[in-house]
């Protein structure tokens, strides 16, 4: 009978951020698949966990999947962990989880720390819509190309960056997104030198350039969406509705505006009402 694969989140810095459930699971499984067994060994030692470790990282995951799946099929419960945070979020593990699903092995998440969500929760930028973009390309030409594709996105964007590339990265962001774009800078979250600030990209370039300490550690960038795109779309809708309202009722104008723009009729109707009331 197949066993279960537990995807276990571990602390991103402060060891007290591990959950009781995560400790119980790591103690109870037969084996732990870890991104780096040396790093994970220190975590297990701290919590007196004696479960055997096996390496599962970017360089061996494809070759090791069959072996791990076989152990699961033979009834050995297994935990998957990364060096820090939630596995698969810019960390190894996707191939193993996919293989487990394909083999009808139950995959159970054990939630916990995640640097992306921790940063989003603290920087003070909109969190109702956001996308996780992971790490940008290391080569500047490819990085600029990616940023160009993202510059008109209206949702908040979360990006990881390596410390040795952070200054060049934020310079490229300021160039593509504009120096006035809002950004959250979260470094060494939950650790001794935790830094969480919200500013413009132009200000962030100066902040990082003038303080070499900000070019160290684990870094998360939270970039505000393009408000210009939102404002432009709103302006277009308002202009259309105002013209239609000269000859049509609110209901008819909003219906026609919805047909012409693809916007939901309910939104167009509400905006038409607001415009009508403002002009009364």
Digit-coded pLDDT (tens) for 67-105: 999 999 999 999 999 999 999 999 999 999 999 999 999
What distance in Å separates the CA atoms of residue 70 and residue 103, rounded to the nearest whole number?
10
Domain 4-113 has CATH 3.40.1010.10: yes
Q: pTM for this one? A: 0.80
147 confidence band (pLDDT: 50, 70, 90) = very high
Chain mean position to CA 119: 9
26 confidence band (pLDDT: 50, 70, 90) = very high
Residues of the chain with CATH 3.40.1010.10: 4-113
Its sign, for the CA torsion 173, 179, 181, 182, is positive
Burial class (CB in 10 A: 0-12, 13-18, 19+), 266: exposed
Q: Give Cα separations from 50 to 39, 46, 87, 260 (angstroms).
A: 14, 10, 21, 64
State phi, psi for 138 to the nearest 5 degrees: -75, -30
What distance in Å separates the CA atoms of residue 56 and residue 95, rounded to the nearest whole number?
10
Q: Are 52 and 32 in contact, with CB atoms under 8 Å apart?
A: yes
Kindly state the tokens that stand for 258: 């919805």
Looking at residue 90, the DSSP 8-state letter turns out to be S
280 confidence band (pLDDT: 50, 70, 90) = low
pLDDT at 153: 94
Question: Residue 86: CB partners within 8 Å, gap ≥ 6?
Answer: 7, 9, 111, 112, 113, 114
Residues of the chain with CATH 3.30.950.10: 116-225
Q: Are 220 and 242 in contact, with CB atoms under 8 Å apart?
A: no
Residue 80, strand partner residues: 7, 33
Lay out the sheet containing 195-200: strands in order across.
130-135, 156-161, 219-223, 182-187, 195-200
Burial class (CB in 10 A: 0-12, 13-18, 19+), 213: exposed
| 228: pLDDT strictly greater than 60 | no
Locate tokens 């930028």: which residue? Answer: 125
Domain topology for 116-225: 3.30.950
Digit-coded pLDDT (tens) for 170-209: 999 999 999 999 999 999 999 999 999 999 999 999 999 9
Q: At what angle do helices 227-244 and 250-261 cross, to 10 degrees?
A: 130
Digit-coded pLDDT (tens) for 52-69: 999 999 889 888 999 999
Q: Are 77 and 6 in contact, with CB atoms under 8 Å apart?
A: yes
Its sign, for the CA torsion 243, 153, 129, 182, is negative
231 confidence band (pLDDT: 50, 70, 90) = low
What distance in Å separates the CA atoms of residue 95 and residue 41, rounded to the nearest whole number?
23
Locate tokens 């415009």: which residue? Answer: 275
């Amino acid at each position: 009978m197949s066993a279960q694969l537990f995807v276990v989140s571990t602390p991103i810095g402060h060891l007290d951020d591990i959950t009781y459930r995560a400790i119980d699971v790591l103690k109870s499984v037969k084996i732990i698949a870890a991104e780096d067994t040396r790093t994970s060994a220190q975590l297990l030692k701290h919590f007196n966990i004696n479960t055997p470790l096996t390496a599962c990282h970017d360089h061996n995951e494809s070759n090791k999947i069959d072996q791990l799946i076989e152990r699961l099929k033979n009834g050995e419960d297994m935990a998957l962990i990364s060096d820090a945070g939630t596995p698969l979020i810019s960390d190894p593990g996707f191939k193993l989880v996919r293989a487990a699903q394909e083999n009808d092995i139950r995959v159970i998440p054990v939630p916990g720390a995640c640097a992306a969500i921790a940063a989003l929760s603290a920087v003070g930028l909109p969190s109702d819509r956001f996308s996780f973009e992971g790490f940008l390309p290391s080569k500047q030409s490819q990085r600029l190309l990616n940023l160009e594709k993202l510059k008109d996105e209206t949702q908040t964007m979360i990006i990881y960056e390596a410390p040795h590339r952070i200054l060049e990265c934020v310079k490229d962001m300021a160039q593509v997104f504009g120096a006035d774009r809002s950004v959250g800078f979260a470094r060494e979250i939950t650790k001794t030198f935790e830094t969480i600030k919200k500013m413009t990209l132009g200000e962030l370039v100066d902040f990082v350039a003038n303080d070499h300490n900000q070019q160290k550690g684990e870094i998360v960038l939270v970039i505000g969406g393009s408000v210009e795109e939102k404002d432009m779309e709103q302006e277009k809708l308002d202009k259309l509705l105002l013209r239609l309202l000269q000859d049509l009722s609110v209901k008819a104008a909003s219906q026609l505006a919805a047909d012409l723009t693809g916007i939901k009729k309910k939104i167009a109707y509400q905006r038409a009402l607001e415009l009508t009331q403002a002009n009364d």
